Structure 1
């Protein structure tokens, strides 16, 4: 998961179709403008919404004042910001330092934290990595993170990850004025709903891989799928870590009274919670199915090995008969009456052939050959 800084060439929407171009930056603190604040390379978009309508463009440092003056709220979008960049924003919006630290360094589990009259929520994002054939080293699921700061007059989204987890979200919401009129919590709902919907798509794609592995394990051909099964279980674990912990935060937003989440928004969060629970159950079911398929693959491999050992033992038993007879006559004793008889050699060959035929039929009848 990439956590590098980005710096768009021009102001972009919150969720562009492609992630901002990555540009190297010298080590140390980022350069500052004459106003004494870091350059806004991490700011993807910043807008003030009043009565569900987007106002004229404003600078991030002026947005909160404009929102308070007009009775609206700010939606500020950041992509992989540095500590200095988030620090300046934290001063302007009075963000809690612990939440700021989590937003900068990422790698957090899904959670919901409450700081006075503000909320901080972490969501894991996931996307399915397309591949022609699943191998023992295939990357199947790529994860990222979205952090959301929610206050009475602002909502700040912080994204980490290469894939565009919020692609087109702002544009779609700006077409739904009734939803935006419900306040900053409507943006949090939209982000959570988009993340959970992406889980549904990823789970559906992974399910196809599970079905392909199941068909391969139980096919008549002899295959070795243990490595692929184990790799898919590992990849599925990352999706499970993103989905399962999300249930508790969504339940809190849907059921507990929160100042920055109006009563009208709880039903929306209950709907997202229902989808998250269904995905959680689907992922758990796939994990259990993969465990069963893995056990079946190991059992089938063991049975094949046992069958091979039976065949080897049967042929070894058959070969032992002529070897033993040849060994006896190879001892060159002087007094062996049949050596002087004309029928001695054919008789020994007949005994050998008869023993081999009887042993072969016996092993074949018992399923060893």
Structure 2
């Protein structure tokens, strides 16, 4: 069973607190007894927290000697993805993303404290559970025996992989928008929807782009709390981050193109309407002009005294209107 601490509102703050030795889970640990467990050689502690209170974080800080600035960041959240080193402890921030039931993107945060013999994860907001990741690691003791560095890799790999369905959903939505633009009728609503997609894609970009630097540092820099045989695993996370970045960039370019196409089609549609108005205005102007001439109160006017004058003018007017209509119709104005 996981060690779980519940606050007075019923929220689970400590999801897991266990000791591992040679890749196997050896015991559940109370938070206030962690310092005793850390005295044992070849053993590390894995603690999972979910939106912990200041009291819980203070206790964790005391047990592991964490830096004040890192603990402050972990408590307040709203951090950009980054990696920082405080002495022998590495502090990593990642943003999570997932599609909710309303087909919208929900973002969360996970903070990692990694030391010589411990890893602490702090989840905030809609960050997904890592129970499956922990179970996968526990089922592979030959990998988990590499220590807390492999646990960090498994968690980071899981978080990054969650972006693939998110970006795929955005790509599918983009295809729907393209169908609306080119097969339907371009509209202002489509433009607003494209801007909404661009905002969501920008949030994804802000969440995943800094991970390139994080993975680079984990792969290439000498970090004592991460064993050298674990560092190559972060290359897999790096490759996934690069792929997601490329997918995001391609989708952004297509969205920009779709937005420009929508504006162009709206402009063309407005021009077509203007042409129709101009064509009908020209046709209506003919009888208006002729009627205006013969509506003037002059004594001597052609055909006024002719008994067929009215019919002749009427035929000429209708013929002129019909001629203009045929001309505009062939020109595509009507």
Instruction: Give TM class, smaller chain.
Output: over 0.9
The structural deviation recorded for 1:222 is 4.7
1:137-174 per-position Cα deviation (integer Å, ceiling 9, x unaligned) = xx721100000000001100000122424242111111
CA contact (8 A) 1:13 1:170 kept: no
Contact 2:186 2:265 in 1 (8 A): no
TM-score under structure 1 normalisation?
A: 0.86
> Which of 269-278 and 159-168 deviates more?
159-168
Contact 2:99 2:106 in 1 (8 A): yes
Cα distance in 1, alignment partners of residues 247 and 275 from structure 2: 42
* Aligned CA-pair RMSD: 2.0
Contact 1:253 1:269 survives alignment (8 Å): yes
C-alpha distance in 1 between matches for 2:7 and 2:199 = 29
Indicate yes or no: 2:62 matched with 1:91: yes
Q: Is the Cα contact below 8 Å between 1:44 and 1:78 reproduced in 2?
A: yes
Q: What residue is the counterpart of 1:302 in the other structure?
A: 267
**1:279 matched to which residue of 2?**
244
Aligned counterpart, 1:68: 39
Q: Deviations over 1:45-67 (max 9, x none)?
A: 10000111111222011123213
More off after superposition, 196-205 vs 106-115? 196-205
Question: TM (normalized to structure 2)?
Answer: 0.94
Relative to structure 2, which stretch is displaced further, 155-164 or 107-116? 155-164
Partner SS for 2:160: helix
- Residues 217, 297 of structure 1: 8 Å contact kept: yes
1:150-208: CA deviations, max 9, x gaps? 00011000001224242421111110101210011111101110011101121112111
CA displacement at 1:344 relative to structure 2: 0.7
> Does 190-199 or 79-88 show the bigger shift?
79-88
Q: Is the 8 A contact 1:64 1:154 kept in 2?
A: no
1:108 equivalent in structure 2 = 79
Structure 1 CA distance for aligned equivalents of residues 185 and 52 of structure 2: 52
Give the number of equivalent residue pairs: 333
Please list the CA deviations of residues 320-346 of structure 1 after superposition, one character each: whole Å capped at 9, or x if unmatched: 111111122222322224122111100
* Distance in 2 separating the partners of 1:144 and 1:65: 33
2:310 alignment partner in structure 1: 345
Question: Which of 99, 123, 145 pairs up with 1:181?
Answer: 145
* Aligned 8 A contact 1:76 1:155 in 2: yes
Alignment of 1:1-369 (within 5 A): 12=2, 24=9, 42-131=13-102, 140-224=104-188, 225-369=190-334
Compute the displacement of 1:216 (Å): 1.6
Structure 2 alignment gaps of length 5 or more: none
| Deviation (angstroms), 1:307 | 0.7
User: Residues 161 and 348 of structure 1: is their aligned pair in 2 closer, same or farther, counting only changes over 3 Å?
Assistant: same
Q: SS of the residue aligned with 1:120?
A: strand
Q: Which runs of 4+ in 1 moved over 3 A?
A: 11-14, 20-25, 220-224
Q: Which moved more, 1:74-83 or 1:216-225?
A: 216-225
Structure whose residues are more often strand by fraction: 2
